[in-house]
Amino acid sequence: MHGYLWFIAKRALQMLAVIFCAISATFLVTHLSPIDPVEQVLGRLSSRANLSPEAIASTRAALSDLFGTGAPLHEQYVNFWLRLVRGDFGPSLMAFPTPAMDIVARAMPWTLGLLVSATLITFVIGNLLGALAGYNQNNRFFKLFGIIAMGIQPIPYYVVAFILLIIFGFLWPVLPISGGFAMDVTPGYNWPFISSVLQHAILPTLSVVIVGFGGWFIGMRALVSNVVNDDYVTYAELAGVDKSTIVGGYVIRNAMVPQLTALALALGGVFSGTVITEQVFNYPGLGSLLIDAVNYGDYSLVLAVSTVSITAVAVAIFTVDLLHPLLDPRVKAE
């Protein structure tokens, strides 16, 4: 037990270090950008009303204090971390003066729902079918399935998204292709809204699942193909152990350890894929919000989205990492 607690402590320190470095890099990139948020807001205000030079000067001073751009970069960096601890990223330029974190909080459930559902579906089905294909190597169905998986796996997310968009939006228009829910339903805990959300999530989720499925299937099939030749599997088969017990208790359990490592590495890639997917389907998640913020020069919102995304991916990887000792006791000795 003491060894496992030490394992958790080391992984937690690594996670915090990754989060700190990634957020710091994002801060430097946004603050070294030539876009000045104060001038952006002043430009919008000037386009709507005629402001006197005195009003512009006083507004510029107030906005500089609000965004913290008047201080040197190192002071802005310290102030940024002090505000980050409180969850304060300042106001958003796109929806000034709405706090950036409020906008992120509204978009976060959409991306989390898309990511969690797509990742779980892809990981579970891909590994299960890959394990069956590796154990039944002469099965024609799994051989054909393997050829299809190898052909689909290299295709980028956005290509699959556009194909689904064309098929189900124009050739066979049976599913919604844009937005998170229908405009004629009232958001809330009611079946029309929930049903509309589920229907609008089918194509974005399917585009992520189709691309990610092939990698899990091929990887698990290769791992199981090696495991089935081990002595303990052969002995279990000769002893008359039930085939489902061999596949589930022996083969999949031992082959799953490398797949968990691959899952941790793939989580960041899944998020980058959903950014493009959300943009294609106009899905109201963090990906679409991040692209809009970058195009608008809203670095408060960019920092808020990036910080939440970095933290979420790091925590997910940390959680997956903690599962390793439960499947492979040798990890505790590290």
333 pLDDT band, cuts 50/70/90, is: very low
Spatial contact of 317 and 15, defined as CB atoms under 8 Å apart: yes
How far apart CA 30 and CA 160 sit, in angstroms, is 31
How far apart CA 254 and CA 252 sit, in angstroms, is 6
**How many domains, in total, are found in the chain?**
2
Q: Is residue 22 in a domain? A: no
pLDDT for 114 equals 84
Q: Is residue 237 in a domain? A: yes
Is the pLDDT score of 235 beyond 70? yes
Verify that 284 and 198 share a domain, yes or no: yes
Spatial contact of 204 and 274, defined as CB atoms under 8 Å apart: yes
Verify that 62 and 187 share a domain, yes or no: no
Verify that 114 and 222 share a domain, yes or no: yes
Residue 19 is encoded by which pair of tokens?
Answer: 């989060």
pLDDT for 17 equals 92
Verify that 154 and 44 share a domain, yes or no: no
Q: What is the CATH number of the domain that holds 168?
A: 1.10.3720.10
Q: Is residue 250 in a domain? A: yes
How far apart CA 222 and CA 5 sit, in angstroms, is 33
Lowest mean pLDDT: which of 15-24, 34-43, 183-192?
34-43
Verify that 181 and 246 share a domain, yes or no: yes
Q: Is residue 327 in a domain? A: no
Q: Is residue 20 in a domain? A: no
Neighbouring residues of 191: CB distance < 8 A, sequence distance ≥ 6: none
Spatial contact of 158 and 275, defined as CB atoms under 8 Å apart: no
Tell me the residue range of the domain where 44 lies: 35-74
Q: Is residue 307 in a domain? A: no
How far apart CA 220 and CA 127 sit, in angstroms, is 6
Q: Is residue 52 in a domain? A: yes
Average pLDDT of the residues in 194-221 = 85
pLDDT digits (tens, 9 = 90+) for 58-108: 767 766 766 666 667 778 888 888 888 888 887 787 777 788 888 888 888
Neighbouring residues of 272: CB distance < 8 A, sequence distance ≥ 6: none
Is the pLDDT score of 208 beyond 70? yes
pLDDT for 273 equals 65
pLDDT digits (tens, 9 = 90+) for 131-147: 888 878 888 888 888 88
297: left (phi over 0), alpha (psi -120 to 50) or beta: left
Verify that 51 and 175 share a domain, yes or no: no
How far apart CA 254 and CA 7 sit, in angstroms, is 21
Q: Is residue 286 in a domain? A: yes
How far apart CA 284 and CA 111 sit, in angstroms, is 8
Verify that 119 and 191 share a domain, yes or no: yes
Verify that 202 and 265 share a domain, yes or no: yes
Verify that 124 and 262 share a domain, yes or no: yes
Spatial contact of 165 and 202, defined as CB atoms under 8 Å apart: no
Verify that 227 and 169 share a domain, yes or no: yes
pLDDT for 1 equals 57
Average pLDDT of the residues in 301-305 = 85
Verify that 67 and 113 share a domain, yes or no: no
Q: What is the pTM of this model?
A: 0.77
Is the pLDDT score of 209 beyond 70? yes
- Choose the most confident range, by mean pLDDT, from 51-65, 121-135, 318-332: 121-135
Is the pLDDT score of 225 beyond 70? yes
How long, in residues, is the chain?
Answer: 334
The residue among 50, 74, 98 that closes a domain is 74
How far apart CA 280 and CA 284 sit, in angstroms, is 11
Verify that 166 and 286 share a domain, yes or no: yes
Is the pLDDT score of 121 beyond 60? yes
Helix or strand run (H / E) with residue 210: helix 191-227
Q: Which three-class secondary structure string do you get for 91-107?
A: ECCCCCCCEHHHHHHHH
C-alpha torsion sign, points 289, 295, 300, 305 = positive
Question: The tokens 């996670």 sit on which residue?
Answer: 15
- Strand-pairing partners, residue 91, are 99
Question: The tokens 């710091």 sit on which residue?
Answer: 24
pLDDT for 275 equals 77
